[in-house]
A and B are shown apart, each in its own frame.
Chain A
Amino acid sequence: MVNDSGQLYTIEGISAGLLMIVTAYLVVSSTTVLTPQDVHITDVQLEQLGNDALAMMDTRNTYTGPRSPLQDYVFYDDSTNKSNFEQQFLLYCNSTPFGRMDDLRFNATIHYINNANEQSFYTYYEPPGYDYYRENAVKVSRWIYLEGKPPNSPVEDKPQIVLMEVLLWRA
Protein backbone atom coordinates (compact mmCIF):
# COMPACT_ATOMS: atom_id res chain seq x y z
CA MET A 1 0.00 0.00 0.00
CA VAL A 2 1.22 3.52 -0.87
CA ASN A 3 2.04 5.67 2.08
CA ASP A 4 0.43 9.16 1.66
CA SER A 5 1.24 10.68 5.02
CA GLY A 6 3.54 13.34 3.43
CA GLN A 7 1.04 14.64 0.88
CA LEU A 8 0.26 17.94 2.62
CA TYR A 9 3.95 18.77 3.09
CA THR A 10 4.58 18.05 -0.59
CA ILE A 11 1.75 20.39 -1.60
CA GLU A 12 3.05 23.12 0.67
CA GLY A 13 6.55 22.71 -0.70
CA ILE A 14 5.32 23.05 -4.28
CA SER A 15 3.22 26.12 -3.52
CA ALA A 16 6.12 27.75 -1.69
CA GLY A 17 8.35 27.11 -4.69
CA LEU A 18 5.73 28.60 -7.03
CA LEU A 19 5.42 31.66 -4.82
CA MET A 20 9.17 32.29 -4.94
CA ILE A 21 9.35 31.92 -8.72
CA VAL A 22 6.28 34.11 -9.36
CA THR A 23 7.55 36.78 -6.96
CA ALA A 24 10.95 36.89 -8.60
CA TYR A 25 9.35 37.13 -12.07
CA LEU A 26 6.93 39.91 -11.05
CA VAL A 27 9.63 41.95 -9.31
CA VAL A 28 11.92 41.78 -12.35
CA SER A 29 9.18 42.56 -14.87
CA SER A 30 7.66 45.43 -12.91
CA THR A 31 10.95 47.36 -12.88
CA THR A 32 11.14 47.08 -16.69
CA VAL A 33 8.91 49.97 -17.77
CA LEU A 34 9.07 49.07 -21.46
CA THR A 35 6.24 46.59 -22.00
CA PRO A 36 4.90 45.64 -25.44
CA GLN A 37 1.94 47.99 -24.95
CA ASP A 38 3.98 51.19 -24.80
CA VAL A 39 6.32 51.44 -27.75
CA HIS A 40 5.30 55.13 -27.69
CA ILE A 41 8.07 55.88 -25.20
CA THR A 42 10.74 55.32 -27.87
CA ASP A 43 8.61 57.36 -30.32
CA VAL A 44 8.62 60.29 -27.90
CA GLN A 45 12.39 60.16 -27.56
CA LEU A 46 12.93 59.85 -31.31
CA GLU A 47 10.57 62.75 -32.03
CA GLN A 48 12.29 65.00 -29.49
CA LEU A 49 15.68 64.08 -30.95
CA GLY A 50 14.62 64.92 -34.50
CA ASN A 51 12.96 68.19 -33.53
CA ASP A 52 16.03 69.25 -31.55
CA ALA A 53 18.30 68.45 -34.49
CA LEU A 54 16.18 70.52 -36.88
CA ALA A 55 15.97 73.40 -34.38
CA MET A 56 19.76 73.43 -33.99
CA MET A 57 20.25 73.46 -37.75
CA ASP A 58 17.68 76.27 -38.10
CA THR A 59 19.60 78.58 -35.76
CA ARG A 60 21.56 81.41 -37.35
CA ASN A 61 25.23 81.67 -36.46
CA THR A 62 24.89 85.37 -35.61
CA TYR A 63 21.86 87.51 -34.80
CA THR A 64 22.31 89.59 -37.95
CA GLY A 65 23.10 86.58 -40.13
CA PRO A 66 20.89 86.37 -43.21
CA ARG A 67 20.09 82.65 -43.12
CA SER A 68 20.37 79.63 -40.85
CA PRO A 69 22.35 76.61 -42.11
CA LEU A 70 19.09 74.76 -42.75
CA GLN A 71 17.77 77.61 -44.90
CA ASP A 72 21.06 77.60 -46.82
CA TYR A 73 20.88 73.87 -47.45
CA VAL A 74 17.35 74.11 -48.83
CA PHE A 75 17.85 77.34 -50.77
CA TYR A 76 21.07 76.21 -52.52
CA ASP A 77 19.98 72.63 -53.09
CA ASP A 78 22.98 71.33 -55.02
CA SER A 79 24.60 68.00 -54.19
CA THR A 80 27.22 69.57 -51.89
CA ASN A 81 24.62 71.21 -49.68
CA LYS A 82 22.44 68.10 -49.65
CA SER A 83 25.34 66.01 -48.42
CA ASN A 84 26.16 68.73 -45.87
CA PHE A 85 22.56 68.53 -44.66
CA GLU A 86 22.79 64.75 -44.45
CA GLN A 87 26.05 64.81 -42.54
CA GLN A 88 24.95 67.47 -40.07
CA PHE A 89 21.60 65.85 -39.38
CA LEU A 90 23.16 62.42 -38.95
CA LEU A 91 25.82 63.88 -36.66
CA TYR A 92 23.17 65.47 -34.41
CA CYS A 93 20.93 62.39 -34.35
CA ASN A 94 23.44 59.56 -34.27
CA SER A 95 26.03 60.81 -31.79
CA THR A 96 26.38 58.64 -28.73
CA PRO A 97 28.46 59.09 -25.59
CA PHE A 98 30.52 56.06 -26.60
CA GLY A 99 32.01 57.62 -29.74
CA ARG A 100 30.52 55.16 -32.20
CA MET A 101 27.53 56.21 -34.25
CA ASP A 102 23.94 55.11 -33.80
CA ASP A 103 22.00 53.81 -36.80
CA LEU A 104 19.11 56.19 -37.49
CA ARG A 105 17.90 56.78 -41.05
CA PHE A 106 15.75 59.58 -42.39
CA ASN A 107 14.32 61.11 -45.51
CA ALA A 108 13.21 64.70 -46.03
CA THR A 109 10.38 66.10 -48.13
CA ILE A 110 9.42 69.72 -48.64
CA HIS A 111 5.78 70.77 -48.80
CA TYR A 112 4.87 74.01 -50.53
CA ILE A 113 1.97 75.86 -52.15
CA ASN A 114 2.28 75.68 -55.95
CA ASN A 115 1.20 78.28 -58.51
CA ALA A 116 -2.29 76.72 -58.76
CA ASN A 117 -2.67 77.45 -55.03
CA GLU A 118 -2.58 73.75 -54.14
CA GLN A 119 -0.35 71.90 -51.75
CA SER A 120 2.44 69.95 -53.31
CA PHE A 121 5.73 68.42 -52.27
CA TYR A 122 9.07 67.25 -53.55
CA THR A 123 11.69 64.95 -52.09
CA TYR A 124 14.68 66.82 -50.78
CA TYR A 125 16.75 63.95 -49.45
CA GLU A 126 16.56 60.15 -49.49
CA PRO A 127 19.11 57.78 -47.96
CA PRO A 128 21.10 56.34 -50.86
CA GLY A 129 20.24 52.72 -51.61
CA TYR A 130 18.04 52.34 -48.57
CA ASP A 131 14.41 53.37 -48.76
CA TYR A 132 11.85 53.51 -45.98
CA TYR A 133 10.13 50.16 -45.68
CA ARG A 134 8.14 49.26 -42.61
CA GLU A 135 10.07 50.40 -39.60
CA ASN A 136 8.45 52.23 -36.74
CA ALA A 137 8.94 55.87 -37.76
CA VAL A 138 8.17 59.35 -36.47
CA LYS A 139 7.67 62.58 -38.41
CA VAL A 140 9.20 65.91 -37.41
CA SER A 141 8.79 69.20 -39.26
CA ARG A 142 10.22 72.70 -39.47
CA TRP A 143 9.09 75.90 -41.19
CA ILE A 144 11.59 77.33 -43.66
CA TYR A 145 11.52 80.78 -45.22
CA LEU A 146 12.77 80.88 -48.81
CA GLU A 147 13.64 84.11 -50.59
CA GLY A 148 13.14 82.57 -54.01
CA LYS A 149 13.27 79.36 -55.98
CA PRO A 150 15.90 76.77 -55.08
CA PRO A 151 17.52 75.84 -58.43
CA ASN A 152 16.66 72.13 -58.44
CA SER A 153 13.12 72.39 -57.08
CA PRO A 154 9.65 72.80 -58.62
CA VAL A 155 8.88 75.70 -56.26
CA GLU A 156 7.69 79.03 -57.67
CA ASP A 157 10.23 81.85 -57.81
CA LYS A 158 8.98 84.18 -55.06
CA PRO A 159 9.48 84.68 -51.32
CA GLN A 160 7.55 81.95 -49.53
CA ILE A 161 7.37 79.66 -46.52
CA VAL A 162 7.71 75.91 -46.99
CA LEU A 163 7.44 73.08 -44.52
CA MET A 164 10.23 70.53 -44.31
CA GLU A 165 9.08 67.16 -43.01
CA VAL A 166 11.62 64.60 -41.91
CA LEU A 167 10.67 60.97 -41.46
CA LEU A 168 13.00 59.42 -38.92
CA TRP A 169 13.38 55.74 -38.14
CA ARG A 170 15.77 53.33 -36.48
CA ALA A 171 17.32 50.93 -38.98
Chain B
Amino acid sequence: MAGLNDDAQWIVLMGFVVSTIIFILALIVSQSALVGQTTSESVLEFSKTDIQDLRSEVIFLKEKGHLDELDLIYDLQNLSMGRKTAVVEVDNWTDVVSRTDFVYIHFNDGTTSYSETYEEYY
Protein backbone atom coordinates (compact mmCIF):
# COMPACT_ATOMS: atom_id res chain seq x y z
CA MET B 1 0.00 0.00 0.00
CA ALA B 2 1.55 3.18 -1.12
CA GLY B 3 1.73 6.09 1.34
CA LEU B 4 1.12 4.17 4.62
CA ASN B 5 4.06 4.86 6.94
CA ASP B 6 4.62 2.00 9.45
CA ASP B 7 7.98 3.11 10.86
CA ALA B 8 6.74 3.50 14.45
CA GLN B 9 5.16 0.04 14.87
CA TRP B 10 7.96 -1.27 17.07
CA ILE B 11 7.83 1.70 19.43
CA VAL B 12 4.03 1.57 19.77
CA LEU B 13 4.25 -2.14 20.56
CA MET B 14 6.88 -1.44 23.22
CA GLY B 15 4.69 1.20 24.83
CA PHE B 16 1.82 -1.27 24.98
CA VAL B 17 3.99 -3.96 26.60
CA VAL B 18 5.41 -1.51 29.15
CA SER B 19 2.02 -0.29 30.31
CA THR B 20 0.68 -3.85 30.64
CA ILE B 21 3.64 -4.94 32.77
CA ILE B 22 3.31 -1.96 35.12
CA PHE B 23 -0.42 -2.66 35.52
CA ILE B 24 0.15 -6.31 36.46
CA LEU B 25 2.90 -5.44 38.96
CA ALA B 26 0.63 -2.88 40.60
CA LEU B 27 -2.09 -5.51 40.99
CA ILE B 28 0.33 -7.90 42.74
CA VAL B 29 1.55 -5.24 45.18
CA SER B 30 -1.97 -4.20 46.14
CA GLN B 31 -2.81 -7.83 46.95
CA SER B 32 0.19 -8.27 49.26
CA ALA B 33 -0.97 -5.43 51.52
CA LEU B 34 -4.44 -6.98 51.84
CA VAL B 35 -3.10 -10.43 52.68
CA GLY B 36 -1.04 -9.24 55.67
CA GLN B 37 -3.92 -7.24 57.11
CA THR B 38 -6.69 -9.81 56.95
CA THR B 39 -4.46 -12.59 58.29
CA SER B 40 -3.27 -10.69 61.35
CA GLU B 41 -6.73 -9.30 62.05
CA SER B 42 -8.27 -12.74 62.14
CA VAL B 43 -5.45 -13.96 64.39
CA LEU B 44 -6.10 -11.06 66.79
CA GLU B 45 -9.82 -11.72 66.85
CA PHE B 46 -9.56 -15.41 67.60
CA SER B 47 -9.61 -15.85 71.38
CA LYS B 48 -7.18 -18.77 71.56
CA THR B 49 -5.33 -17.62 74.65
CA ASP B 50 -8.53 -16.71 76.53
CA ILE B 51 -9.81 -20.26 76.06
CA GLN B 52 -6.47 -21.83 77.02
CA ASP B 53 -6.34 -19.66 80.12
CA LEU B 54 -9.92 -20.50 81.17
CA ARG B 55 -9.27 -24.19 80.61
CA SER B 56 -6.09 -24.27 82.66
CA GLU B 57 -7.75 -22.33 85.48
CA VAL B 58 -10.77 -24.65 85.60
CA ILE B 59 -8.59 -27.75 85.61
CA PHE B 60 -6.44 -26.19 88.34
CA LEU B 61 -9.62 -25.64 90.41
CA LYS B 62 -10.62 -29.24 89.80
CA GLU B 63 -7.24 -30.57 90.93
CA LYS B 64 -7.45 -28.53 94.11
CA GLY B 65 -11.08 -29.54 94.70
CA HIS B 66 -12.53 -26.01 94.50
CA LEU B 67 -14.93 -26.61 91.65
CA ASP B 68 -17.99 -26.91 93.91
CA GLU B 69 -17.48 -23.44 95.42
CA LEU B 70 -19.99 -21.45 93.40
CA ASP B 71 -18.54 -18.07 94.46
CA LEU B 72 -15.41 -18.88 92.46
CA ILE B 73 -17.43 -19.73 89.37
CA TYR B 74 -19.39 -16.49 89.77
CA ASP B 75 -16.08 -14.59 89.89
CA LEU B 76 -15.05 -16.25 86.63
CA GLN B 77 -18.38 -15.50 84.96
CA ASN B 78 -18.69 -11.87 86.12
CA LEU B 79 -15.12 -10.91 85.30
CA SER B 80 -15.34 -12.67 81.91
CA MET B 81 -18.46 -10.74 81.05
CA GLY B 82 -17.07 -7.44 82.29
CA ARG B 83 -13.48 -7.57 80.99
CA LYS B 84 -13.70 -9.87 77.94
CA THR B 85 -17.42 -9.65 77.03
CA ALA B 86 -17.48 -13.44 77.03
CA VAL B 87 -20.07 -15.84 78.38
CA VAL B 88 -18.54 -18.57 80.53
CA GLU B 89 -20.27 -21.63 81.96
CA VAL B 90 -18.60 -24.23 84.17
CA ASP B 91 -20.35 -27.30 85.51
CA ASN B 92 -19.18 -30.58 87.02
CA TRP B 93 -20.73 -33.92 87.89
CA THR B 94 -19.64 -37.44 88.74
CA ASP B 95 -20.67 -40.79 87.36
CA VAL B 96 -20.18 -43.39 90.07
CA VAL B 97 -20.66 -46.40 87.78
CA SER B 98 -17.81 -45.60 85.44
CA ARG B 99 -15.90 -43.75 88.20
CA THR B 100 -15.54 -40.65 86.07
CA ASP B 101 -15.50 -36.93 86.91
CA PHE B 102 -16.92 -34.72 84.20
CA VAL B 103 -16.19 -31.00 83.89
CA TYR B 104 -18.16 -28.98 81.36
CA ILE B 105 -16.43 -25.82 80.11
CA HIS B 106 -18.18 -23.37 77.80
CA PHE B 107 -16.86 -20.09 76.38
CA ASN B 108 -18.49 -17.72 73.88
CA ASP B 109 -17.28 -14.21 73.11
CA GLY B 110 -19.57 -13.53 70.16
CA THR B 111 -17.19 -14.62 67.40
CA THR B 112 -15.79 -17.83 68.85
CA SER B 113 -17.71 -20.50 70.71
CA TYR B 114 -15.98 -23.30 72.59
CA SER B 115 -17.49 -26.23 74.49
CA GLU B 116 -15.67 -29.08 76.13
CA THR B 117 -16.49 -31.91 78.51
CA TYR B 118 -13.32 -32.81 80.32
CA GLU B 119 -13.20 -36.37 81.74
CA GLU B 120 -11.06 -37.74 84.50
CA TYR B 121 -11.12 -41.22 86.02
CA TYR B 122 -10.72 -41.58 89.75
| Contacts between the two chains (Cβ within 8 Å), count | 109
Please report the C-alpha to C-alpha distance between residue A111 and residue B82 in the assembled complex, in whole angstroms: 10
Q: Which of B33, B41, B54, B64 is in CB contact (< 8 Å) with A35?
A: B33
In the complex formed, the residue of B with least CB distance to A22 is: B22
Q: Number of residues in B with C-beta < 8 Å to the partner?
A: 41
**A137 contacts chain B at the CB level, 8 A cutoff:** no
A35 touching B40 by the CB < 8 A rule?
Answer: no
- Pick from B15, B60, B78: contact of A113, CB under 8 Å: B78
B residues 25-83 touching A (CB-CB < 8 Å): 25-26, 28-29, 32-33, 36-37, 40-41, 43-44, 49-50, 52-54, 56-57, 60-61, 64, 66, 69, 71-72, 74-76, 78-79, 82-83
Which of B11, B43, B54, B61 sits near A8, CB closer than 8 Å? B11
Binary contact track A5-29/B, C-beta < 8 Å → 1, others 0: 0001001100110110011001001
A: number of interface residues (CB 8 Å): 42
Which stretch of A39-47, A77-85, A95-103 is in the interface?
A39-47
Contact with A along B17-29 (1 / 0, CB 8 A): 0100110011011
- Whether A163 lies near B44 (C-beta < 8 A) is no
Residue of B11, B25, B36, B71 near A38 (CB, 8 A) is B36
Out of B69, B74, B84, name the residue touching A159 (CB < 8 Å).
B69
